[in-house]
Chain A
Amino acid sequence: MHPSLSFDQAPPISVPYRFFLAAPWFGVMAGILLAWSGPDAFASRWTPEALALTHLIALGFMLQAMSGALFQFIPVAVGGNVWRPRLVANAVQPLLVLATLFLVAGFLVGRPGLLSAAVPLFLLAVGGLVIAVAIALWRTPATGMTLWAMRMAIGGLAVTVLLGSLLAESLARGLPVPIIELTNIHLAWGLGGWALMLLAGVSYHVVPMFQLTRPYPPWFTRGFGPLLLFLLLAWSGQYFLGDLRWSAAIGLPLLVVFSAYAGMTLWLQYTRRRKIHDATSLYFRVAMISLLAFASSGAAFFLYPAIAVDPRSVVWLGVLAFAGVLVSAVTGMMYKIMPFLNWLHLQRLGAPMSAVPNMKKMLAAEAMTGQLRLHVLALLLLLAAVWLPALTRLAGVAFAASSAWLAWNLISTMRRYQTFRDQIRAVALHR
């Protein structure tokens, strides 16, 4: 018998939705903050504004949305059973919102008390999430590389948050820790060990599934995660040893691994069976092209250090990673998941199937592709603003507008669920 096999344990619809609906507002905040701060925000990665922007996107947008997706994905894709998902989500999600706001405010106003207050909130929120998810991921009887990638990703999240907490405490109390080195390790685990590892693991499933591509080749899925993990350990090790001679020797292969994932995904999409494009496939394409741009820029900075002297060069990488790769991939996923979840939960209410509207009636294709175009425009403006500071405010306004449009699209999808649900219940009452 398989005690933890949970074929039909998809969580209540409110569990993923409370995360999904919160995420875009952090994008709105990031856009407004950028428009407000103006040209100086992108002067270097260490400006208070740049730190605040990074964490609004990384924690507010990405971690929110990815947490919601995990609750949904784990039972369906890897047969895992998250313990009391509604209870965990109800506790984790508000804590995460609060922690993010404290941290961002701490960066912006420079009050140590705010940073110190954020730390226990993060440890509680992410600790609860990591424990609940890790138990589900280790007890499932399923096997496969998606499962292993997800296990490594959740470990990556734990490392990222522990290092982040240490950094915040150090800033707040002026502890004598090597801030720059720790930040570089924290960043590598957050982007590589958590976000990209999870994205790849989920891609192994959803890219073939949504677009009818061939599967990722087994040599790729077997190699990608372990290699990424090994390189991240080596990357962290060099800072612990205080010996940075190997920086390029570790960094370049890391960028090759990133490019291999992006290139493979684009190739699978290019040779796919399904000829129809939709917002999700286009969003994935934007994410993968951004990842290739990130890797080639990073490689250029390693090989020609002279061009990386300008502190804006790292900001360029940051915009590509956060707005280009992560916001795009996560948005594409939400556009596919929410209409399907609407349909799935509505037809479980017991109405005759024909009474449940199909996915395209949950969120119009035009609303998604319109928002996608604005997002791409905002991304291009953000990239341009790194080198042409006069464009910063405009880029901020465009990003805020695109995030607000996303928020509106997701809210309309949820409201359509409520409307149809009420109709189905009313009909059931009258029968």
Chain B
Amino acid sequence: MSITSPLFQHHKHCDEIFADAEEACEKGDWTVGAAAFELLRAQLETHFASEEELLFPAFEAATGMTSGPTEVMRGEHRQMRDLLAQMQVAVGSRDGDAFGGAAETLLILMQQHNMKEENILYPMCDNALGSSDVGASLAERLK
């Protein structure tokens, strides 16, 4: 198992919760939708924090690349947090259009973000951090 495989798995997990939340809110089932959305927000926050507090600093220390890919990823985390905040307002006011529009945007942003991480950044991290214990800490956080 590679260091970053818990993050891989967790992307899929978040995709599934996203689909549940989007479907419920689209159907106007706001009770189920709000619960699924809350879970999505919490899981994504855990994911972002694991990367920003564990993986990225370890990668930066090992490679000396502080303004490269990790900086771009942090920026995209900020954008996703902002979209999640917009979705939360929409859930609160039960505004299906606002929720759907922000969810669609989050989905594409999230997917292309995951694509960059899975295809490029994670393999770089696995190479750079081969013998460290970061993997165990990530697995612990994302259980």
The chain A residues found within 8 Å of chain B, CB to CB, are 1-2, 5, 7-8, 76-79, 141-144, 205, 208-210, 212, 273-276, 336, 340, 343-344, 347, 353-354, 357-361
Check A7–B116 contact: CB distance below 8 A: yes
Q: Which chain B residues lie closer than 8 Å to A276 at the CB level?
A: 22-23, 26
Q: Which chain A residues lie closer than 8 Å to B16 at the CB level?
A: 273
Closest 7 CB pairs of A and B: A358-B101, A360-B101, A353-B82, A209-B111, A273-B19, A7-B72, A359-B105
Q: Which chain B residues lie closer than 8 Å to A205 at the CB level?
A: 115
Closest chain B CB from A341 CB (angstroms): 10
A/B interface sample: 13 pairs, CB < 8 A: A5-B68, A143-B119, A205-B115, A210-B107, A210-B111, A212-B18, A275-B26, A340-B105, A340-B108, A340-B109, A359-B105, A360-B100, A360-B101
Check B22–A274 contact: CB distance below 8 A: yes
Q: Which chain A residues lie closer than 8 Å to B115 at the CB level?
A: 76-77, 205, 209
Closest chain B CB from A206 CB (angstroms): 9
Q: Which chain B residues lie closer than 8 Å to A354 at the CB level?
A: 82, 86
Beyond A142-B119, A142-B120, 14 additional contacts (C-beta under 8 Å) are A7-B72, A7-B120, A208-B111, A210-B111, A212-B107, A274-B19, A275-B19, A276-B22, A276-B23, A276-B26, A353-B83, A358-B102, A359-B105, A360-B97
Q: Which chain B residues lie closer than 8 Å to A340 at the CB level?
A: 105, 108-109
Give the docked Cα–Cα distance between A336 and B69 (Å): 25
Check A361–B101 contact: CB distance below 8 A: yes
Check B119–A144 contact: CB distance below 8 A: yes
Q: Which chain A residues lie closer than 8 Å to B102 at the CB level?
A: 358
> Of the candidates A2, A210, A274, which one forms a contact with B108 in the assembled complex, judged by CB atoms under 8 Å apart?
A210
Q: Across the two chains, which residue of chain A brings its CB closest to B86?
A: A354
Q: Across the two chains, which residue of chain B brings its CB closest to A278?
A: B104
Q: Across the two chains, which residue of chain A brings its CB closest to B19?
A: A273
Q: Flag whether B46 is at the interface (Cβ < 8 A).
A: no
From B15, B16, B108, residue with most partner A Cβ within 10 Å: B108
